[in-house]
């Protein structure tokens, strides 16, 4: 085998650090961007982060961005208070809020008050409480916990029995059947028919097959319905009505769409964006200091700060351009209450002059407010039911929902009947497509919707 050298010429795109940072800023949501900027500012003394107001930021040594279509951007005043030093500051109203008791807190307090529980069993009970999922179920087998943590299986079974005696009834169950059985067992009177349904008839109950339940129980249909009503009155999720262990993540809209005098107005929510600037005092050290190390450090951090500020500007410009095109393409939806038209990310990227991945990043975790609703930006991208059709899948789903809401509960429409109804409205889809859209909207089949 002979070795030889060859020269080849090729072109490839190499992302610089500035380009990577710009892409990172683009795909972050506003809260994530603020958190990211704060983390960068901790290690960069040249980057100043102030109360969020994006359009007051001036990019040092950069030309103004290209002119774009006018959008009415309105600044909104923030709630502000005055500190003891007389300086104006943002009032933090969350300091006056108290933390609501969580489901785990409720269980732990009860375990600590049980007199028949020794220290070792108390420790195992708290361990199992920490293993419960957000519903209050124990979804990890005791055998697996015993092997992983080297705990005797019998001790875990005793601890689980103690946990399952806590309030609310059904906590610590390993499946839905056990959850309902525990609630029946802790009730005032144990109905053997309801207990049989909880153990063996939940699938028939989910289909409202009362005739099948009557055969299973060996009773009349009316008696089966009476027993089933007791199951339906139980709580399948023990943790319901309790606060979660994690704080609720609130969504802040990036923009607000409104219709004024027949025209669509887009208001950017700049209050959720950080206000960035370069610290002039530290930046001056690059010219005034005689220490080469100081000059190198200041130059490096200045470049990093400018790159981040540019990334935030680029993020905002791309978002404005994308939202403007969405408003133009879906004008009928915003101004006329019509169904969404088929618009894909690829079509929008061609009009913006960017790649499809850039549009995908710009739409990720972004929201807009319209008529009091918070709507994900991604929901405005919908495909046509066929390449040659002008009807989007979103419009078909809306029609399906309207038809199903208006149907007779005693004789619900089958998928074929829904297909024919859509065809009469000028929407040609297959029965399989109807079943697909119905499943995506979590609408059961006609047999499951039928009230017996």
In this prediction, residues 308-334 reach a mean pLDDT of: 90
If you write DSSP's letter for every residue of 61-101 in order, what string do you get?
Answer: T-PPPPP---------PPPEEE-TTS-EEE--GGGG--PPP
Is the confidence at residue 37, as pLDDT, over 70?
yes
Residue 267 pairs in a beta bridge with 256
Q: What kind and span of H or E run contains 260?
A: strand 255-260
Residues 6+ away with beta carbon under 8 Å from 98: none
Is the confidence at residue 417, as pLDDT, over 50?
yes
| pLDDT for the residue numbered 321 | 92
pLDDT tens across 229-286, in order? 988 888 888 888 775 545 555 678 889 999 888 888 988 888 888 888 888 888 887 7
pLDDT tens across 122-142, in order? 888 888 888 888 888 988 888
| Beta strand segments in 300-431, E | 367-370, 373-376
> Which residue is listed with tokens 């190499």?
14
User: What CATH number has the domain spanning 102-174?
Assistant: 1.10.10.1330
In this prediction, residues 333-349 reach a mean pLDDT of: 85
> Which residue is listed with tokens 């004789």?
411
d(CA 142, CA 119): 20
Q: Of 5-9, 266-270, 337-341, 446-450, which gets the smallest average pLDDT?
A: 5-9
Q: SS3 string of 261-288?
A: CCEEEEEECHHHCCEEEECHHHHCHHHH
* Side-chain half-sphere CA neighbours of 129 within 13 A: 24
d(CA 1, CA 24): 47
pLDDT tens across 200-218, in order? 988 888 888 889 999 999 9
Is the confidence at residue 71, as pLDDT, over 80?
no
d(CA 274, CA 51): 6
Domain 393-449 has CATH 1.10.10: yes
Whether the Cβ atoms of residue 123 and residue 150 lie closer than 8 Å to each other: no
- Mean pLDDT, the chain, integer: 79
Whether the Cβ atoms of residue 136 and residue 154 lie closer than 8 Å to each other: no
Terminal alpha carbon distance of the chain: 81
Is the confidence at residue 55, as pLDDT, over 70?
no
Q: Of 267-271, 329-333, 339-343, 382-386, which gets the smallest average pLDDT?
A: 382-386
| pLDDT for the residue numbered 178 | 92
Residues 6+ away with beta carbon under 8 Å from 450: 208, 409, 410, 411, 412
């Amino acid at each position: 085998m002979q070795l030889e050298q060859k020269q080849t010429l090729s072109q490839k795109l190499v992302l610089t650090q500035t380009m990577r940072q710009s892409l990172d800023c683009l795909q972050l949501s506003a809260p994530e961007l603020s958190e990211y900027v704060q983390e960068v500012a901790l290690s960069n003394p040249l980057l100043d982060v102030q109360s969020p107001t994006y359009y007051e930021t001036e990019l040092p040594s950069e030309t103004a961005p290209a002119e774009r279509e006018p959008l009415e951007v309105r600044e909104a005043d923030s709630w502000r208070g005055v500190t003891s030093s007389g300086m104006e500051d943002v009032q933090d109203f969350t300091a006056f809020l108290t933390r609501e008791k969580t489901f785990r807190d409720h269980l732990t307090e009860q375990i600590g008050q049980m007199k028949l529980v020794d220290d070792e069993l108390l420790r195992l009970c708290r361990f199992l409480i920490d293993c419960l999922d957000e519903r209050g179920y124990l979804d990890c087998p005791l055998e697996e916990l015993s092997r992983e943590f080297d705990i005797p299986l019998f001790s875990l079974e005793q601890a689980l029995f103690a946990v399952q005696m806590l309030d609310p009834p059904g906590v610590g169950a390993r499946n839905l059947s056990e959850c309902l059985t525990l609630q029946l067992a802790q009730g005032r009177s144990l109905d053997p028919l309801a207990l049989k349904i909880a153990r063996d008839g939940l699938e028939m109950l989910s289909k409202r097959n009362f005739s099948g339940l009557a055969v299973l129980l060996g009773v009349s249909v009316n008696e089966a319905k009476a027993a089933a009503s007791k199951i339906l009155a139980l709580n399948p999720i023990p943790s319901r009505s309790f606060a979660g262990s994690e704080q609720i993540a609130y969504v802040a809209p990036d923009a607000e769409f409104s219709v004024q005098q027949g025209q669509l107005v887009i208001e950017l929510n700049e209050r959720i964006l950080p206000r960035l600037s370069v610290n002039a005092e530290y930046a001056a050290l690059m010219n005034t200091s005689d220490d080469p190390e100081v000059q190198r450090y200041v130059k490096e951090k200045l470049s990093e700060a400018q790159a981040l500020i540019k990334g935030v500007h680029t993020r905002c410009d791309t978002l404005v351009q994308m939202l403007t095109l969405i408003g133009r393409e879906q004008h009928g939806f915003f101004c006329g209450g019509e169904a969404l038209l088929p618009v894909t990310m690829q079509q929008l990227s061609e009009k913006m002059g960017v790649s499809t991945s850039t549009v995908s990043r710009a739409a990720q975790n972004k929201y807009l407010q319209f008529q009091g609703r918070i709507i994900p930006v991604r929901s405005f991208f919908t495909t046509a039911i066929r390449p040659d059709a002008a009807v989007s899948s979103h419009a078909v789903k809306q029609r399906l929902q309207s038809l199903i809401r208006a149907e007779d509960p005693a004789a619900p429409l089958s998928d074929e009947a829904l297909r024919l109804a859509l065809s009469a409205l000028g929407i040609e889809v297959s029965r399989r497509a109807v079943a697909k859209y119905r499943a995506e909207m979590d609408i059961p089949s006609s047999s499951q919707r039928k009230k017996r």
